[in-house]
Each structure stands twice: as C-alpha cells, then as structure tokens.
Amino acid sequence: TKIAVFASGSGSNFQAIQEAIERGELHAKVALVVTDKPGAFVVTRAENFGIPVLALNPKEFVSKSAYETAIIEALHECDVKWIVLAGYMRLISDVLLAAFPQRIVNIHPSLLPAFPGKDAIGQAINHGVKITGVTVHFVDEGMDTGPIIAQAAVPVIEGNREATEAEIHKQEHLLYTKALQQLLQ
C-alpha cells in the first residue's frame, strides 16, 4: 500500500515508519513525503532514505484549496492510497478530506480528547496529570478531533519534562507503526 507522510518538523515519526517498513513490520511504501516547511529536518531524513519530497510553501498559493489541490495531484501521480500526518502543523480542509475519505490519519502526543492542539505534552504537564499518552486518530476538519483508532498511556515523570517527552515519542513510534499495519492490511 502506498502512503504519503505529511510532516512540518523533525520527522522522527516518519523515520520510525520507514524503519518499520524496512524491517518488514509494516507492509507499505512511503511514496512521497509532503512538507509545508521546505527547510524542515524531515526533508533531510527523506533524502537519506531516497524518498521523494514534495515541499510546497502554502503562502505561494492563492488559497488553501489551491495548495491542497496541488498536493492531491502529486498524490494521485504517485498512486498514494493513505495520508499519514506526522507532525504536520496545518488543519486539513474539505478539499483534501474529500479526495481521501477515511484515509487520513494523525498522531497526537496526548490521550485525546484531552490536550488537543499545540504543545500537548506541555499542556498535560502544566495541568498536573499523572498519566498522559499518545493517540492515533482519523482526521476530520477539526484540530485533533476525529475518531480514535489507538491509544497508549505514558506516565508523567514528575520534574523531568525531557524524560516524559522521550517516552511519549518512543510510544508514538511504536503505536503509529502498529496502528498503520492494522489499518492498511
């Protein structure tokens, strides 16, 4: 199954997915990495794996629809069936949702519906929760609101944000590849 990974930042989830594919644990092929941030580290990671990158600056399009339409054309050219959001910092509009109905998923570093949006890990720590986690969900028009596919709990390590973050990212990488394998098969 051909998938596209959308990312705006570091791309550690992209890398975990690609490594799971190479280990034979996820039966998929990343046909394209899509980014709205041409300078993001995910671009370097994709190049290291020899995976093509579509880097489009949304500001260079007259509208969000025009931007997403350009992406859709590239996805169809690559025969992409699923869109995997991994740190893609933009809402998906009805144009892209209509082109890939029930075929767009996202990962979020909290136990949704708690702490949607930016800096979910910081939000959870500041709120004082003792358990947080990660969520894989279908994407809809909202911010981190679609139907939940899989979750994993992660305890907050008090007074050690770095350690909590590291464990959340580790669980993201495990949960995303596992959930994708179940979805795609």
Give the residue ranges of the annotated binding site: 11-13, 64, 89-92, 106
Place of tokens 């989830």: 13
**Residue with smaller CB distance to ligand GRF, 22 or 79:** 22
Give yes or no for residue 83 binding ligand GRF (CB under 6 A): no
The sheet with strand 131-138 has its strands ordered as 53-55, 29-35, 2-6, 82-85, 104-108, 131-138, 148-155
* Closest approach of ligand GRF to the CB of residue 110, in Å: 9
Size of the site for ligand GRF (CB under 6 A): 12
> Any catalytic annotation for residue 127?
no
Q: Which stretch binds ligand GRF (CB under 6 A): 3-11, 28-36, 122-130, 151-159?
A: 3-11
- How far CA 49 is from CA of 52, 94, 157, 167, 182, in Å, comes to 9, 31, 34, 25, 24
Catalytic pick among 108, 137, 169, 173: 108
